[in-house]
Structure 1
Amino acid sequence: MRLFFYGTLTDPAALGPCAGKPLKIVPQAARLEGRARVRLRLASYPTLRRARGAVIDGVVIEVDAAMLAHLKAYESVRYRLILIRVAIGSRRCMTHCFIGDAASRVPWRPSTDDKSMTLRSKAF
């Protein structure tokens, strides 16, 4: 399954442990249009909200069933998978993405929120 990541898991060093094994491939840079990265309500984690004209940079990676099971456990019941269309270079493709259950209107800022998320991903 192909997955789009837009938060801390865009870092292969964080994604590998959360997926249950080190990554052997380099994630592909991708862009998601029409959504904004915001904070999940009552948490400091990112999620997505529809936003006309917004663009999010992230990465796409192929995961196997075992990796997907680890990632679902990491993301918790607050996140579900949705199908989205992203741009990888000049081509567009469908991929899945984890989205939170309650998006706020507060932008998620990696510079302030990244530290706690990186610690969580390393502890997982």
Structure 2
Amino acid sequence: MKVKKKVLVVENDYDIRNIVAFILEEEGFECMGIPEPQSLDSLLAFKPHVILIDEFINNEPGHRLCLKIKQFESLKHIPVIILSTANNIELIAEECKADDYIRKPFDVDEMVGKVITVIDKQPLTLN
């Protein structure tokens, strides 16, 4: 049996979070959606293969969370995709070392394709 790849969706908008999770689950991914992480350690429990982060989450901009993930030893190998309506999303993604970005409103096929691409670029693991 093939192990489902896990996607963590960090999005404070309940509807968008659920829509993104629904779309990805329909494509065969296992998803967990949260409005924002309680701590970086809390992200480890789900063991995501990719993390999607909205730029505009409650207490902290998504790019700051992305930078923290990329500096956290246990998480830095996990690809991060920034989601945003920001005009300068390309620059935001580059500055926070995100692996990719998705502009909102997003195209469903593009979003799924980017998730698959960043997961496929990762080295094989046993989890």
Shared fold (TM-score greater than 0.5)?
Answer: no
TM-score range, shorter chain: under 0.3
Q: With the length of structure 2 as denominator, give the TM-score of the two structures.
A: 0.27
Q: Which has the higher contact order (CA 8 A, sep 6+)?
A: 1
TM-score for the superposition, normalised by structure 1: 0.27
Q: Whose strand proportion is higher, 1 or 2?
A: 1
